[in-house]
Copies of this chain bind each other. A is one copy, B any other.
Amino acid sequence: MSAQVDSVPKTLPGRYYTDPEIFREELDRFYCQTWVCVGRTEQVRNPGDYFLREIARENIIITRDRDRNIRAFYNVCRHRGTRMATDPEGSFAGRIQCPYHGWTYALDGKLIGAPHMDEAGGFCREEYPLNRVHAGAWDGHIFVNLNPNALPLETQLADLPQKFRPWRMGELRLARRIVYDVNANWKLILSNYNECLHCPLLHPALNRLTNYLGADNERPQSTYIGGAMGFRDGAQTMSLDGERRRDYLPGLNAEEREKVCYYSILPNFLLSLHPDYMMTATLWPAAVDRTGIIAEWHFHPDEMGKPDFEANDAIDFWDITNREDWKICELSQAGIQSRAYQPGPYSDRETLLHAFDQMVLAREREGREGKRR
């Protein structure tokens, strides 16, 4: 009650960051019902190439079939349930074989071999394909959707493909991947990404390159939130010294060369588009208070082919900044777990967070109404 006497918008109640039951519901709602970014098409360049991804405790195989379609399957043999692939990435020799009793599947999931099963009367091979998961791609980013009745990926992406076409993300290539393990709820990481009010105190290096008051936020959409920030005088990109050591990405116009776009594409994809490179982060909730983060730095292959190509100025800059962010998210998580925590007031510099909170509440309402029906 008394928490609502003033008119300032407030942070969410603590249970949204601490209650395992709400976490399980959010995991289902956001990670099992919608499209989740899992990686890049260059990870499955050739048929049979694959990588594994853990989504909401489900181990998923992402691969490419003989017709070059991207395919995703639950990593579960239809015979006795064995997990088949164990290396986090690799290449299948034209087929997926369970190591236990040798059941064998084509790259499109069809069962093509089941030793000694035909001796058993009534066995019908067609009934036991791998369990398929919807898969799709946008400009090099692979998405999967565990919901059997998934809407098309395009619906969820809305106008994003058009908005970011100039960056030609599909052409970019991975230079470095860093995996973080953060003791904080996934939403705290998203919230942290969506405001720069904390930049002066927490990120002195970043604050020298960009003006934290200069964020140009777009009106929140139903599946993403974000905005752009320009540079302070003298800076040309986000790097240790603000210098740009690579050509601009080839498709950008003058205006696009002078900003960084920071977008949170729900539920798990943080897309940071720089004038000369792309940083991505995908969030992997492991528990109500724990989230894995896969951060990647992608550059244009023309630049990567140059003998003096350098990426560490950008990678190290963000690695330092990321660690500062994850650390403060962990302290937020710790504090919010207190009985003393109450929703606190948002400033005008935190409007995207309030919008995100409202989305979370709206999805919760929809989910509960859906169940009631």
Contacts and interface: CB of A to CB of B under 8 A. Distances in A.
A122 B79 CA distance: 63
A305 interface: no
A336 B80 CA distance: 8
A360 interface: no
Of the four ranges (under 10, 10 to 19, 20 to 34, 35 or more), the interface on chain A belongs to 35 or more
Given A8-B120, A328-B99, A336 B81 contact: yes
A11 interface: yes
B334 A122 contact: no
A338 B347 CA distance: 43
Contact of A347 (B83, B120, B334): B120
A123 B8 contact: yes
Interface stretch (A69-77, A231-239, A261-269): A69-77
Dominant secondary structure at the A interface? loop
A77 B348 contact: no
A77 B335 contact: yes
Contacts of A74: 338-340
Nearest to A75: B335
A290 B116 CA distance: 30
A336 B58 CA distance: 11
Interface string A40-63: 000000000000000001110000
Contact of A328 (B58, B82, B345): B82
Given A86-B331, A99-B328, A76 B341 contact: yes
Interface string A85-112: 0100000000000011110000000000
Contacts of A14: 81
A137 interface: no
Contacts of A6: 122-124, 127
A334 B60 CA distance: 12
A346 interface: yes
Q: Count this chain's copies in the assembly.
A: 3
A201 B99 contact: yes
Given A74-B340, A336-B81, A117 B201 contact: no
Interface string A1-17: 00001111001001000
Given A82-B332, A83-B334, A100-B331, A344 B77 contact: yes
B58 A345 contact: no
Nearest to A97: B201
Interface in A313-342: 328, 331-332, 334-342
A9 to B, nearest CB: 8
A348 B115 CA distance: 11
A67 interface: no
A120 B120 CA distance: 73
A117 B341 contact: no
Interface string A112-139: 0001110111111001100100000000
Contacts of A5: 127
9 contacts: A57-B337, A59-B334, A75-B338, A76-B340, A80-B191, A81-B338, A100-B201, A100-B202, A120-B348
Given A78-B344, A102-B200, 8 more contacts: A5-B127, A58-B340, A59-B338, A79-B344, A100-B328, A100-B332, A102-B201, A128-B345
Interface of A: 5-8, 11, 14, 57-59, 74-84, 86, 99-102, 115-117, 119-124, 127-128, 131, 191, 197-198, 200-202, 328, 331-332, 334-342, 344-349
Nearest first, the 7 closest Cβ-Cβ pairs linking A and B are A74-B340, A83-B335, A7-B122, A131-B340, A81-B336, A81-B335, A83-B334
